[in-house]
Amino acid sequence: MRYMLGTNVVSHLVRAHPSVSRRVASMPAGHLCISAVTEAELRYGLEKHRGAHRLQSLIYEFLASIPIMPWRHEEAIVYAQFRNSLERQGRSLAAHDALIAAHAKSLGLILVSNDQAFVNLVDMPFEDWTH
Q: Which letter, b or e, does each residue of 40-56 get, where b requires 16 or more Cβ atoms within 10 Å of its Cβ? A: ebbeebeeeeeeeeebe
Dihedral sign (CA 103, 105, 110, 111): positive
Question: What's the total number of domains in the chain?
Answer: 1
Contact 104, 111 (CB under 8 A): yes
Dihedral sign (CA 58, 42, 39, 100): positive
Question: Over 90: is that where the pLDDT of 23 sits?
Answer: yes
pLDDT at position 52, please?
A: 80
Binding site residues, as ranges?
Answer: 97
Dihedral sign (CA 30, 79, 6, 118): negative
- Tell me if the pTM is above 0.85: yes
pLDDT at position 46, please?
A: 93
> The domain containing residue 38 runs over which residues?
3-127
Question: Over 80: is that where the pLDDT of 122 sits?
Answer: no
pLDDT at position 102, please?
A: 94
pLDDT at position 119, please?
A: 78
Question: Over 90: is that where the pLDDT of 118 sits?
Answer: no
Q: Is 57 helix (H, G, I), strand (E, B) or coil?
A: helix
Binding site residues for Mg(2+), as ranges?
Answer: 97
Q: What is the CATH number of the domain that holds 117?
A: 3.40.50.1010
Q: What is the pLDDT of residues 99-114, one digit of tens each?
A: 999 999 999 999 999 9
Dihedral sign (CA 86, 20, 65, 63): positive
Q: What is the pLDDT of residues 38-97, one digit of tens each?
A: 999 999 999 998 878 888 999 999 999 999 999 999 999 999 998 998 899 888 888 899
pLDDT at position 105, please?
A: 94
